[in-house]
Amino acid sequence: MIEYRYDTQLLIEGKNLSEEAISIYFEKNFKGDCLLAVGDDSLIKIHYHTNEPWKV
């Protein structure tokens, strides 16, 4: 059985972005799994499984 039903994807655009800092923020603030945060210092793509995608 799948614990987290929603596959949530989004883009974060900005300056001096950090994949590591964003990953840590997600792990501390949102319930879910299968987190991917990839990109560069101006654009990060997030992939995350959660039951509360509106909070992400």
* pLDDT score of 1: 83
Beta-strand (E) ranges in the chain? 6-13, 33-39, 43-50
User: What pLDDT digit, counting tens, does each position of 1-56 carry?
Assistant: 889 999 999 999 999 999 999 999 999 999 999 999 999 999 999 999 999 999 99
Is residue 32 a contact partner of residue 50, using CB atoms and an 8 Å limit? Answer: yes
pTM: 0.85
Q: Which residue from 47, 45, 35 is spatially nearest to 14, judged by alpha carbons? A: 45
